[in-house]
Amino acid sequence: MVESLIQLKKLSVLKCKAMEQIVTKAVGEDGRLKNIISFPKLESLELQHLPKLKRFCEGDCIEFPSLSKLIIWACYELRTFIPSSHESTVTLLRAIEERELEAQQTLFNEKVVATKLTNLGVWKCHGLISLFNSSTATSLAQLTRVFIGKCNQMTQVIHVNDQMEDESAAESEIVFSLLKILALHHLPNLKCFHSGNNKLQFPNLEKINLGACPEMRSFSHGTINTPNLDRLIIAELDRRLEFYVLDWFFINQEEAKPIEELWEGDLNRSIRKLWDDSYIALQWIFSEIVDDHNSKEDTAGHDQKIQHNKENAASSSSK
């Protein structure tokens, strides 16, 4: 079946409540199972409102050599695009079991080939704890826009494969050559963008937009180079907005409601300063529901900032 779709340029799968997998095990012309699946001309892939979807397919590799746009929306049980290894019924070592489980909750692994991907949006995928591992990240050099939102279990965007890799990571780099916009919103367990020691290079990154990430205290454990980044924006978008068309977010960035702009010259230092100096205010920015007791804490400056933000948000929503 997959071979008959080699001319496919756009694929949208929407509102299939019972679907667990997009592509079943493919069979070649000789009747044997195919372990490599390819969509050579597919440019756009959208998976939306698939509450039971667990994976895209199974096999040794899936190739999207022409894919430029990927949107995944409301796939609550999605844990990975393609499993990194065959599931074992018996696991002897708990450490191995935990590591394999974590790997299975990463969207992209080394089996996914999408070197031309430019626009990536992931929204309401609660089964993911990371987006891709450090080795896969190096193959996504064409990314220009990344939006991640409402993935409740996600703890980091780039996952470190193992301790040995992390120990040698300080000598290696992850380069996002073309990335211009990075948006992270409503990620309640996100602690950082990358927990490894790799040096991160963002030569063309212009804007980072953060909101509702209350656990994020640093961007990365390694060094970061962002020569063109001049501001870190803590923003609250219109809560009535649902991102059915993620292009809206990417195109109309300036229409977001800025609440806080801070730039300390270093990304990690900026995020820490926001956390340390504006903790109470950030609680209001980061949380949809504010505890009344917390909003009445002392520190007059923080109270004034919170009140100012609320008044701005109220006046904007009334327009």
Query: pLDDT per residue over 73-131, tens digit each?
Result: 999 999 988 886 544 333 333 333 344 444 458 888 888 889 999 999 999 999 999 99
Predicted local confidence at residue 25, as pLDDT: 67
Global pTM?
A: 0.73
| Average of per-residue pLDDT across 60-70 | 91
Whether 2 and 11 have beta carbons less than 8 Å apart is answered as no
Whether 215 and 264 have beta carbons less than 8 Å apart is answered as no
Burial of 191: CB neighbours in 10 Å, binned 0-12, 13-18, 19+: middle
Sheet holding 61-63: strands in order across?
Answer: 36-38, 61-63, 112-113
Q: Which residue has the higher pLDDT, 7 or 212?
A: 7
Rounded Cα gap, residues 200 and 196, in angstroms: 10
Query: pLDDT per residue over 264-299, tens digit each?
Result: 567 777 777 766 665 433 343 333 323 333 333 433
Query: pLDDT per residue over 5-30, tens digit each?
Result: 789 999 999 999 999 999 886 555 65
Q: What does the block give as tokens for 44?
A: 């756009």
